[in-house]
Amino acid sequence: MRATILVVAIASAAIAFTAAPSVAGGCTPGPTKIGGKDAMVYSFSAGTCATTSKYFYLNIGTEIFGVAKQKQPYFGVLAGQYPGSNPGTKPSPRDGTYTGGLVVVRSQNKAYDLNGAGDKNVKITLKKGRTAGSFTGSTFFTPHTKVTGSFTC
């Protein structure tokens, strides 16, 4: 499945990510303001979504293993009993809200990672037959930036 994304993060350093202006309701890449705070809109495209009986995943962009801050944009979502998830993590076989997931946002040498294994406030909601969803949480590393967003496969 092809993936698109709209992610909005608002905190002391606000950011926004979008896959297509039509998804974002007219957002275009570049500097902007969100909730009165400085923000940046990035564009992601050409990704994949897949589901199994135990987990959901979405990957957009280029993932560089072992590099927390990378220039190339990457966005990933893992929900349920994905390979490498903590023991006892519940599967995500249907639409619903799940904790224990992972959301990774990397762009312009910045990392905004939501680690549900370390923070139960990270929530990933799957809907429309697990072809769309949303997420919310704060980044795992300081300064704990609040990140919320949605995606469609």
Eight-class DSSP state of 82: -
Distance of alpha carbon 26 from the chain centroid? 20
Q: pTM of the predicted model, to two decimals? A: 0.77
Half-sphere exposure of 22 (CA within 13 A, CB side): 3
Rg of the chain over CA atoms, in angstroms? 14
**37: pLDDT strictly greater than 70:** yes
Intra-chain end-to-end CA distance of the chain, in Å: 6
Distance of alpha carbon 99 from the chain centroid? 14
Distance (Å, whole) CA 59 – CA 91: 19
**24: pLDDT strictly greater than 60:** no
Instruction: Quote the pLDDT of residue 43.
Output: 63
Which candidate, 122, 151, 153, places its Cα nearest to that of 18?
151
Distance (Å, whole) CA 103 – CA 72: 16
**22: pLDDT strictly greater than 70:** no
Calculate what percentage of the chain has a pLDDT beyond 90: 25
Instruction: Quote the pLDDT of residue 130.
Output: 94
Q: What is the residue type of 88?
A: G
